[in-house]
Amino acid sequence: MSKDIASLEPKSLWKNFTLLNEVPRPSKKEERVIAFAKAFGENLGLETSVDAVGNVLIKKPASSGMENRTKLVLQSHLDMVHQKNNDTKFDFDKEGIKMFIDGDWVKAEGTTLGADNGIGVASIMALLESTDIAHPAFEALFTIDEETGMTGAFGLQPGFLDGKILLNLDTEDDDELTIGCAGGINVSAEKEYSETNVPNGHKTYFIKISGLSGGHSGMDIIKGLGNANKLMNRLLYQLDQNLNLGIHKINGGGLRNAIPRESEVIITIDPENVSVLKEVAKRFENNVRAEHEVTDPDFKFELKETTAVTKIAAKDFSSKLLRALYAVPNGIYRMSSTVQGMVQTSNNVAQVKMEGGKFECLSLCRSSIDSEKEDEVRAIRSAFAVLGAKVSSDGDYPGWTPRPKSDIVDLMSGLYTEMFNEKAHVMACHAGLECGIIGSNYPDMDMVSFGPNIRGAHSPDEKVQISSVQKYWNFLLETLKRIPVAS
């Protein structure tokens, strides 16, 4: 399958994407892909360096006749989100991504594909090894840990880069030029709790929500997709109001930047309430199917009796927990009043775990307005106050303020119209891009982000469109030719 993909056009890009996808590269564990990128530059005989945090920089001189053009930075991140379906047997630490072609799309077998941001990395690799592509002198900047903290961008030091224009190859719609983005902050709530013995005679049930669409917690938050953690809490809250519910375990979601697709719980109930359990659960299932018929058509719900457990959370704690989780904001917090159709502030309740006396909830707040981001953090703190949970935040990163009249924006928007006979959507996105952080150390650098059509990023449904990659590649090459003479 990978051999077929490596033969797609443009061959140099797809070949390098295939090679890259053979290298495990989860966020926080990028040692192997850093070594891969470093060796790639050195084997080409190009000046290559790795900074203190692991960012790789490879410098390539201008092609003949382009020596007087403005120097560029071409930037993408090395890490990828490692997510798989529960029934997929795959070891991300040892196996390369198993890819296949489905019509006009490249997909992976039950895992994330790594097109985010592997297509960008592969594009830059293809340019670095090219001998017949016109381009100014450029610096290839491969950052690390974009997906779970942007520590690569945060660790980038002033003076490391010489380029005056940065092209970030990390967006997911080929008709968009992104010139601004939201900032973000991680919010964590945790609490230790007491357990009690399960009452004699209680039955134990397993409940699972799965098959939700999932997706990127920034770019896809506007779609109103089902959040498995919030849906499961909705059901548990209803059950808690109708019967003597005991909660042994909650396990939902995973990465902060992925809308959770699955959640499972183990509960106990009095035998005389089995019919009530089934009635409430069936009503819940029917309601969710109706509400999410369009957004989450593959929603699955499972309820079955299971092996008995001996411990459940103390009733006072579990009831307060369900109320607290109900109150935590999720999804769109506020739309932009200045950019039509853009989410300004949101939150993703990404992970909820409760078992063995320890509770933890992880969220990711995003906003293009810092004060509103802070306000949403206060809302989360207030929700968990009823539980007495410890709430902390970290990983705060800035947004990227748009410059719609910059020279590179004018050049690329005009070129897009010339090449494709339509206007590009020049926009700011509701996602964390490294441009905002890089710009804090390089405030005079002009920046644009663009890329091919990628769908389902951060989920096992991730796919990249073959024809769109060809369109994006041609646009990138023509942009390189048009970079102006250095002033």
What are the residue numbers of the active site?
Answer: 79, 146
Alpha-carbon torsion 88, 93, 96, 97, what sign? positive
Residue 5 tokens read as 């993909």
Return d(Cα 182, Cα 280) in angstroms, integer: 39
Task: Say how far residue 265 (Cα) sits from the centre of its chain.
Answer: 25
**78 with 142: CB under 8 angstroms?**
yes
Residue 392 tokens read as 């902390």
Q: Name the phi and psi angles at 241, rounded to 5.
A: -80, -20
Count of C-beta atoms within a 10 Å radius of residue 395 = 17
Task: Say how far residue 258 (Cα) sits from the centre of its chain.
Answer: 5
Alpha carbon of 292 to those of 198, 215, 296: distances in Å? 35, 15, 5
Residue 438 tokens read as 């890089």
**66 with 77: CB under 8 angstroms?**
no
**296 with 225: CB under 8 angstroms?**
yes
Say if strands 165-168 and 446-449 run parallel, antiparallel, or are unpaired.
Answer: parallel
DSSP H helices in 191-273: 228-242
H helix or E strand, kind and range, residue 4:
helix 2-6
State the Cα angle at 431 between 427 and 435, rounded to 5°: 75
